[in-house]
Amino acid sequence: MTLAFRYRVSIVLIMFVFGSGVSGARAAEPGESVEPVVREVRALLDEYQFQAALDVLTRAIGHTPAAAPLHKLSGDVLMILRRHEEALSAYRQAVKLAPEWVDAQWALWALLTRVSADPEEVLSTLQAITRVEAENPLVHLRLGRTLHELKRYEDAAAHFRRAVQLAPEHPAFRLYLARALFDILDMSGAQAQVQWVLDHAPHGSPAWVAAQNLAHVVRGETTDQGARSDFFATTKKPYGETGKDYKTWALTRERAWREMKTGDYVTAEALWRETLVLDPQDDLARYYLGLTLMKLSRYDEAIEMLQASLAESREPPYFADALFQIGQSYVRLEQWHKAIPYFRTLLALKDRAKEDYYAMNFPDLSAIQAALEDARRHVKPGMAEATLPWPIAPEPDRTTNDEPAIPRENVGLPHTSSSLAMQDREAGSTQVLPISVDTVRGWFRELMTARSVVRDDLQTGSHEFYPLDPSDSFRPDQPEIYVVFALTTPPSVATTVTSRWVAEQVEGLAPETVIGIDAVAVGLNDTTGYFVLDRPEGGWPAGLYRIDLFTGDTPSSSTNIANVRFRVVAPVQ
């Protein structure tokens, strides 16, 4: 793998951080220390003497079989040698000897994930980590996602709720909880979480936009009714015990359309009303019934029906024409002041005439302008213009970028001209949705933060990278933090993948501060790789961090492919 925008000219191929791992494990045997063995193994690994290191560990384990650190280190070496089943056995033994040693738990979980092992063992290992790190919101979030994938929705919601309790100010955690509550049909709870984000997240921010999108779902405005819903019961509910008669409904709808086109509006009206009996939620039928009533000069009824066609769907493809026809109906009734807001709204939304979704049904702009001017000429002086019976979303200003700028700090950024040039880019248009922990979107089958990384040179000339001492929690004095990835499939063409490191909620930094960027060039034969960021001067500030991954050199919302979170925790005094 070719590395781009790196601080180092050469890469240290083997980097172990044993000190933190050994200190957390149970002592081997009374009066004995494993430190001399660890130092000897480390020296051998620095010289790439993997088999010799394994031989030393095998003899040491024979002498002190209760030494959990030696079993964990043996698992690391076996993983490097691609003897994965033996490595898993070594990690399992380390966990058995030291159940509270979270470093061994993380190592076992990471390798189980890499080799796509039994989902139940992956789950049980993650549950064990959660019991040890009960105050870590990220591990609850990760466990919640795993349980959700296994369709254990109630258990998933419990862990998402715990993540929110531990980090109540984090909007993304609340959106996860909202979705989980919706899936178990707690609609009011889901709506409350979404509303909290809308009330507290900056207007227009990625979290606010995500909450807006999720709001439509939790309010029941989409076909998604929640994972625990009975789809067929939901579809039958509006139409009685027997459910909707799709065949009769479709045939009646077709006949109504045909009669309307031939000019038999009396028959068409009866058929449209019959269609609505068969499907009371058919807003398109309401729209056509409204047009039919206009042809019959029954404008009051037409207005009522056209407004009803928008009450639930709000802005369907026929939205613009429905507004125009309502305005025209008020004109026919000589209620000019009521027609004006409909014509004025259409002109305010004129840019939608260029959008494929509305273009075919958008009235001619000159006709709208003429109708508005004519209506205003008929309004008596002093008569107030009416307002629409429901709010219309304002048309965004397409000439400016209203996204808030992301504050930036040059903290621990690799000191190369390429990285600095990327760091200096404007970030307003590159925000992405901060909605997940370890979210994998097609490109990656594994994303894991770690204290160190090892590179294995294969006989084919390619390389395999493995995370060593994986975790999502780090100390402020951690020298480097790595993100090791495994691709689902190698790319069809050489591609640059860029990582942007963001301080989401970190002491002493503004929210969403970009602290560094790293990039790698992924070749046709590459299946794994890593990103790295050095410890900033003065250490890593405590808090929550997010790493956004993008294809290409320039981060943008359209090139975002995944993100992963980690936290920095100050040691307990």
* Residue 544 covered by a domain: yes
Q: Mind listing the pLDDT tens digit for each residue in 546-567? A: 999 998 888 777 788 888 999 9
CATH code at position 513: 2.60.40
- Can you give the pLDDT at residue 458? 66
CA 543 to chain CA centroid, Å, is: 20
In terms of Cα–Cα distance, which of 192, 140, 133, 189 is closest to 164? 140
Mean pLDDT value across residues 262-291 = 92
Cα 541–571–27 angle (5° rounding)? Answer: 145
| Confidence bin at 573 (pLDDT 50/70/90) | low
How much is the pLDDT for 390? Answer: 54
| Domain finish residue from 117, 138, 161 | 117
* Separation CA 285–CA 552 (nearest Å): 47
Whether 94 is in a domain gets the answer yes
DSSP 208-238: HHHHHHHHHHHTT-SS---TTS-HHHHHHGG
Q: How far is CA 95 from CA 17, 124, 129, in A?
A: 19, 12, 11
Across 73-82, 410-419, 516-525, least confident range? 410-419
CA 178 – CA 192 distance, rounded (Å): 8
Rounded to whole angstroms, the Cα distance separating 379 from 383 reads 7
Residue 171 Cα to chain centre, angstroms: 12
Whether residue 477 is contained in a domain is answered as yes
Mean pLDDT, to the nearest integer, of 235-240? 46
The last residue of one of the domains, among 99, 117, 135, is 117
The continuous run of DSSP H or E covering 417 comes out as helix 417-423
The reported pTM is 0.64
Instruction: Report how far residue 405's alpha carbon sits from residue 408's, in angstroms, rounded to the nearest whole number.
Output: 9
Residue 453, domain extent: 417-568
Domain boundary among 117, 149, 168: 117
30 pLDDT above the threshold of 80: no
The candidate with the shortest Cα–Cα distance to 457, out of 14, 104, 135, 69, is 14
Cα dihedral 168, 174, 178, 180 sign: negative
List, as one string, the DSSP characters of 52-77: HHHHHHHHHHHH-TT-HHHHHHHHHH
The order of strands in the sheet holding 444-457 is 463-470, 444-457, 480-487, 528-534
Residues 6+ apart with CB under 8 A from 256: 268, 271, 272, 274, 275, 285, 288
**3-state DSSP call for residue 547?**
strand
How many residues are listed for the chain in this entry?
A: 573
The answer to whether residue 286 sits within a structural domain is no
Determine, yes or no, domain membership for 304.
Answer: no
More confidently predicted of 173 and 440: 173
Quote the number of domains for the chain. Answer: 2
CA distance 282 to 237: 14
Q: Give buried/exposed letters for 332-358 (b at 16+ CB in 10 A, else e).
A: eeebbbbbbbbbbbbeebeebbeeeeb
Confirm whether 17 is domain-assigned. Answer: yes
What percentage of the chain has pLDDT greater than the value 90? 50
**514 near 497, Cβ under 8 Å?**
no
Mean local confidence (pLDDT), 77-105 = 94
Cα–Cα separations (whole angstroms), residue 116 to 84, 102, 140, 438, 486: 11, 21, 21, 16, 12
**Domain presence at residue 403:** no
Predicted pLDDT of residue 381 = 74
**Side chain identity, residue 482:** Y
- The domain that holds 17 is classified in CATH as 1.25.40.10
- Asked if residue 452 belongs to a domain, the reply is yes
CA quadruple 263, 265, 270, 275: dihedral positive or negative?
positive
Angstrom distance (rounded) from CA 376 to CA 340? 7
- Give the pLDDT confidence of 151-188 residue by residue, as tens digits: 999 999 999 999 999 999 999 999 999 999 999 999 99
